[in-house]
Amino acid sequence: MTEPTPPTPDAPMRDVAALRRNIASRKRADKSFFISGALIIFVSLGILAVLFGNLLSEGWPALTQTYYTKADKSGFGRDDLGGEITRVGDGWTVQIPLATLSDIKDSDVSKGLVGKKVGIVGRLRGGAIPQIIVREIGLADQIAAADITGTLERTQTPPAKPGDEAEVVYNILPGPLAVNVDKIPAEEKSALVSGTPVAFKMDDRVKEGRFTARSVSPLITKNFFTSFPSRNPGEAGILSAWVGTLLVMLVTMLAAIPLGAAAGIYLEEYAPKNRLTSIIEINIANLAGVPSIIWGLMALGLFVYTLALGRSVLTAGLTLGLLVLPIVIIATREAIRSIPNTIREASIGLGATKWQTIRYHILPYSMPGILTGSIIAMSRAIGETAPLVTIGALTFIAFLPRSPIPPIQREISVEQQSTYDLAVAKDPSTPPPQPQLHFTGGEWLTSEFTVMPIQLFQWVSRPQLEFHQNAAATGVVLLAMTLTLNGLAIFLRFRLRRNLKW
Amino acid sequence: MSGQRVKEFFIEGFLFIAGASSILITLGIVFVLLYETIPFFAWQSRALHLPEAVAGHTTVSAVLVRAGDEVVQGTPILEAAIVEDGARKSVQLVASQFTRINEINVKVGDSIARDTLVISADERVRFTDFFGDRLWAPVFDIPRFGIWSLITGTLVTTAVALMVAVPAGTISAIWLSEYCNPALREWIKPTLELLAAVPTVVYGYFALLVVTPLLQRLFGLVGYDLDGFNMLSAGLVMGIMIIPYIASLSEDAMRAVPMQMREGSYAMGATRFQTAVRVLIPAALSGMTAAYILAISRAVGETMIVALAAGLQSKFTLDPTESAATISAAIVQAVMGDLPHESTAYRAVFAAGLGLMIITLFFNIAGHMLRKRYREAY
C-alpha cells in the first residue's frame, strides 16, 4: 500500500488520478481484509462442523448396530468376516472384500488352480484385508462343505533386493462370494434383510451352528449405551463410561460449586483490599491456567498416595472439582460485581446484616450467573482426560459402581451371625438376631471407574478400525453433552442480559 | 442480636477459608511436585555391607563400575569410604546416579569386593543428566532423563499451533471487533468459543484419524512418507483449538480502545483496515500480547492432542514431520504403565511436571500482568 502524497499548497490536487488510484487501492485492501477475515471465521466454524460430521459419520455404525449372537460368544471378534448380505433366491450371498490366503504353498498344484473357481475350508483372520488361513483348497465342486468359494489369483512381487526371494501371494478375487449361510439358525435369519452388513465366524465352529450377524438399524439403538467395554469392538459399549462420568460429575459439582461460590462471595463482599486479597486474586488467575495434567499429578501425589483415596470416583471428582474451581469463582465474582451497590445499601439501610444482605439479595440476584459459570465448569470437567489418566483411571472397567441412591437393606450382618452362632452353640434357646438397617450408599465413592473421555482415548489408541468407530461414537456423545451444556449456558446468559436491567 | 453476630462471624470465617483455599490448592500442587522432585535430584549414598572384607582395612576405592554394558572408571562414584556403624563396618559409596550402575567392584585394602546392584527405588538423577541428556526414557532398563527432548517436542507443537492460531485469531479478532455487525457478533463469538469447549481428547481423535491421513496424502503427492504420529498434525489441530482464546481476548482488548481514537482515524480518511492496523493494534498491543501469551501457556500444557497424535516416544528433533513426545505426553506415557510409587521413574514424572508448571506459570503471570496493564490504560 502506498502512502497518499499530501497535496502541497503550491500544487493542489495536481495528480488527481494518482490520488484516486491510491484511494481505490486502500479500499481494495480494506475489502480483501474483510473477505479474508470472514473466510477465516467461517473456515473455523466449518472445521467445527466437519469435526462433528466426521464423528457422526464414523461413529454411526457403532451407535446403530445390533448384534445377533448365539449364546456362545467366546473368542468371537478375531475370526469374523464382514460383508453385506444379499438374498439370492432361497440362499444368501455375502459381498466381502478381497481376501488374502495364507499358508498356500507355491506349488504346481496351487499354480494349477489359478483362475479357476475354488472352494476353501479355512479360518479367517480379521483386519482391513481379511486373511484366510487355508485348511483345505480345491476346485469348487470338489470341496463340498466350503466356507468360501471364489476365483483364485496369484501375484508375485519382485524381490526388494537382489538375492531375496520373490514374494508370492494368493488372493481370492473380489466379488460376491457365496458363503454357506444355510448354517444360520432360522430365527436369526429372519432378522436379516438384504443390504444388512453382517459378520460371520469363519472357523469350523460355524459348522456347529454358531453364527453372529450384525444388523444396522436406521435409528440409534440402545445397545451402545447398555453394553460394557469388550474385546470385541462390535459388542463394546459405554455403559460403565457414562455411568462413571455421571458419578464423577456429581462429586465434582458437590466439590466445586459450593466452594467456588463461597470463595467468590468472600472475594467480592468481604475481602478487604490488602496484600492477602491480591495474592488470592492473582493465585486464582494462575490456577485457571495450570495445565490439566499438573492437576493429575497433584491428585496422584496427594489424593491417591498421601490421603490414600485410591484411584476412585472420589479422587477423580475432587480433582476435577479443584480443576474447575477457578471457573466457578470467576463466574461468581462477575455475577456479584454486576449487582449495583444500591441494592446493598437499601438492604443495609433497612437494618439487615451483611450476611442477611448476601443471603436474601446478593445470592438470589447472582444465582443465574453462578449457575451459568457452573454449567461451563461442568462442560469443561466432562471432557477432561489427562488428569484422570494420570491418577490411573486407564483400566478396563466392565462393572458398575454401587448405586449412589442408598438401597436401604434389612440384613443380618456377618458379626451378628457369628455372635449368634457362638451363642446358639452354648444355649440353643438364644433368639435369632434382628435384621438391622444397612446403608450401602457410599460405596460408589471408593469404586474404580472409567469415564467417557478415557474410554474414547483407549479406543483411539487401538489399531482396529472397529474400535475407532466406537471412539467416534463416544466422541459424538461426549461432544453432544459438552455442546448442550455450553448452549445452555449461552442461552442462560442471553436470557439474563435481556431480563435484568438495573 | 449477639447470636446473629456470632453466626455472622462464623459465616465470614467459612467464606474466608473458601477464599483462601485457592492458596492451599496452589501450595498443595507445589508441595507435591517438589516433594517428589527433590529426592529425584538429591545425591544418594548407598552402603555396601561387606563386613568380612572391610575388617582391618581403612582405605577403600571403587575400582570398577559397570553401567549397562560399558565399564565406567571413577565416575559416577563420587566418594568411597569405610563407615563404622557400631560393630558393623560397611563401605559407603556416594554416587550421583545409581540408575545406570549394575555392578561395582570395590577395592578394600588389597582385596576386591564386588556387588551387583539391582535397580532400586533409591536412585537419584543428576542435574547434568536432566539437562544434558538428549533422550527421555524413564522406564528403560538403563533409564534416561533428558528433559531437552521433551522441551523440543513441546516447542515444536506449540510453534506449529501458534502459526495457525496467531494469524487466524488476530484476523478474526479484528474482523469481529471492526467489521462484523454487532447482532451477528453476538452469535459468532459464542459459536467460535465452542471450538475451545470441544474436549481435547476429541481433538486428539480428529488429529490422529482425520488430519494425519489427510496430511499423509498431501505429503504423498510430493513423495514424502509422513509418520502416522507427527507433531505437525497435533500442532495444527491444537492451533484450531486455541483460535478462540486469541480471538476472544484480542477482541476484548480492541473493544477497550476508546471510540475517539477510531473516529480520529476515520476522520483522517483512513479505511477500516488502516485504522485497525495503524491505530487499534498499537493501542491494543498489550492486551493482544496477553492473549498470545495465554495461548502459548495453553498450548504448552495441552496433553491429549499431542499424546494421541504426536506420539509418546521422546525424540530430540525440531522437525515437525517427525513424531516426538511433549512434556505432558511424556507424563501420560509414563503414568499409563504401572509405575511403582516412589521409584525413580515415578519421580521423574513429577520433575517433568514441575518443569511444565514453571514454564506455564511464567507465561500465565506475564499474561496476567499485561492484561492488567491494558485494562488500566483506558
Between A415 and A458, the higher pLDDT residue: A458
Nearest CB to B273 within list A30, A325, A380: A30
C-alpha cell at A418: 457369628
d(CA B168, CA B185): 17
pLDDT tens for residues A404-414? Answer: 555 555 556 66
pLDDT tens per residue, range A432-485: 666 655 555 666 777 788 888 988 888 888 877 778 888 888 898 999 999 899
Contact B28 A490 (CB under 8 A): no
- The pLDDT confidence band at residue A263, using thresholds 50, 70 and 90, is very high
**Residue A433: which of A455, A409, A417, A452 has the closest Cα?**
A417
Choose the mutation target among B30, B303, B347, B358 for the interface with A, i.e. most A CBs under 10 Å: B303
How much is the pLDDT for A87?
Answer: 56
Please report the pLDDT score of residue B264 as a whole number.
92
pLDDT of B205 over the 50 cut: yes
Interface contact B121, partner A, CB < 8 A: no
Q: Which residue has the higher pLDDT, A225 or B107?
A: A225
Angstrom distances, CA of residue A440 to CA of A176, A308, A331, B44: 57, 21, 36, 48
Task: From chain B, pick out residues whose CB is under 8 angstroms from the CB of A54.
Answer: 206, 210
Looking at residues B24-43, what average pLDDT do you find?
Answer: 84
pLDDT of residue B143 exceeding 90, the answer is no
CA atoms within 13 A on the CB side of B23: 12
Note whether A305 contacts B195, CB cutoff 8 Å.
Answer: no
Determine how many CB atoms are found less than 10 A away from the CB of residue B9: 11
Interval A382-389 mean pLDDT: 89
Tell me if B113 sits within 8 A of B32, measured CB to CB.
no
A382 touches chain B (CB under 8 A): yes
Q: How far apart are CA A248 and CA B305, in angstroms?
A: 23
Among residues of chain B, what percentage have pLDDT more than 70?
A: 73
B175 close to A (CB below 8 A) = yes
Q: What are phi and psi of A216, to 5 degrees?
A: -110, 125
pLDDT score for A174: 44
Q: What is the pLDDT of residue A298?
A: 92
Q: How far is B73 from chain A (nearest CA, A)?
A: 38
Minimal C-alpha gap between B121 and chain A (Å): 16
Distance from C-alpha of B90 to C-alpha of B81, rounded to nearest angstrom: 8
Q: What are the grid coordinates assigned to A302, written together?
A: 496427594
Helices in B175-280 by DSSP H: which ranges? 182-197, 200-206, 212-221, 231-255, 259-267, 272-275
Q: What is the mean pLDDT of residues B208-213?
A: 89
Task: Look at residue A154 in the predicted model and tell me its pLDDT.
Answer: 79
CB-based contact A263 B360, cutoff 8 Å? no
pLDDT of residue A80: 47
C-alpha closest to that of B127 among B110, B145, B112: B145
Q: Are B60 and B53 in contact (CB under 8 A)?
A: no
Q: Do B271 and A29 touch (CB under 8 A)?
A: yes
Q: Cα distance from A215 to chain B (closest Cα, Å)?
A: 25
- Mean local confidence (pLDDT), A349-365: 89
pLDDT at B161: 94
Q: How confident is the model at residue B171 (pLDDT cuts 50, 70, 90)?
A: very high
A interface mutation test: which of B205, B229, B268, B369 has the most A CBs within 10 A?
A: B205
Q: Domains, chain A, ranges and CATH?
A: 68-221 (no CATH), 239-402+443-498 (1.10.3720.10), 408-439 (no CATH)
What per-residue confidence (pLDDT) applies to A203? 41
| B195–A262 CB contact, under 8 Å | no
Sign of torsion over alpha carbons A79, A85, A88, A90 = positive
Give which of B29, B201, B249 to mutate to test A binding, by max A Cβ within 10 Å.
B201
Weakest-pLDDT range from A313-327, A417-431, A481-495:
A417-431
Contact of B313 with B146, CB cutoff 8 Å: no
Residue A156: phi, psi to the nearest 5?
-125, 120
- To probe the interface with A, which of B16, B25, B36, B164 has the most A CB atoms within 10 Å? B25
Residue A279 in this model has a pLDDT that exceeds 70: yes
Of A34, A262, A271, the CB nearest to B179: A34
Q: Which residues of B337-374 are buried (b: 16+ CB within 10 A; e: fewer)?
A: eebeeebbbbbbbbbbbbbbbebbbebbbbbbebbeeb
Residue B61, classified by CB atoms within 10 Å of its CB into exposed (0-12), middle (13-18) or buried (19+), is middle
Could you tell me which of B214, B232, B206, B203 has the C-alpha nearest to residue B303? B203
Q: Distance (Å, rounded) from C-alpha A388 to C-alpha A317?
A: 9
C-alpha angle with apex B205: B201 to B206, nearest 5 degrees? 115
* Separation of alpha carbons A493 and B269, rounded Å: 38
> What is residue A4's predicted lDDT score, i.e. its pLDDT?
57
Q: Which of B171, B356, B375, B357 is nearest to B290 (CA)?
A: B375
Q: What is the pLDDT of residues A199-253, one digit of tens each?
A: 554 443 333 333 344 444 455 666 777 777 776 666 677 888 888 899 899 999 9
Alpha helix stretches (DSSP H) within A190-268: 223-226, 239-265
- Tell me whether residues B201 and A483 touch, CB distance under 8 A: no
Alpha-carbon dihedral sign for residues A193, A195, A196, A201? positive
Q: Mean pLDDT across chain A, nearest whole number?
A: 74
The span from the CA of A342 to the CA of A284, in Å, is 28
Task: State the pLDDT at residue B56.
Answer: 58
Bigger pLDDT: A441 vs B35: B35
Predicted confidence at residue B222, as pLDDT, reads 86
For the record, the C-alpha cell of B284 comes out as: 491494543
- Return the number of other C-beta atoms located less than 10 Å from residue A257's C-beta: 21
Give the burial class of A432: count Cβ atoms within 10 A of its Cβ; 0-12 exposed, 13-18 middle, 19 or more buried: exposed
- pLDDT of residue B121 exceeding 50, the answer is no
| CA–CA gap between residue B137 and residue B143 (Å, rounded) | 6
Query: Could you tell me the end-to-end alpha-carbon distance of chain B, in angstroms, rounded to an integer?
Result: 46
Q: Which fold has domain B145-377?
A: MetI-like fold (1.10.3720)
3-state SS of A15-66 is: CHHHHHHHHHHHHHHHHHHHHHHHHHHHHHHHHHHHHHHHHHHHHHHHHHEE
Set of chain B residues whose Cβ sits within 8 Å of the Cβ of A325: 21-22, 25
Q: Give the count of Cβ contacts less than 8 A between chain A and B.
A: 260
Amino acid (one-letter) located at A249:
M
Contact B32 A301 (CB under 8 A): yes
Which has more pLDDT, A174 or B135? B135
Q: Chain B within 8 Å of A147 (Cβ-Cβ)?
A: no
Higher pLDDT, B106 or A60: A60
**Of residues B304 and A142, more confidently modeled:** B304
Model confidence pLDDT, tens digit, residues A145-182: 666 667 787 777 777 677 676 777 777 664 444 444 44
Establish if B250 touches chain A: CB-CB under 8 angstroms: no
Residue B97 has pLDDT above 70, yes or no: no
Model pLDDT, residue B357: 92
pTM above 0.80, yes or no: no
Residues of chain B with CATH 1.10.3720.10: 145-377
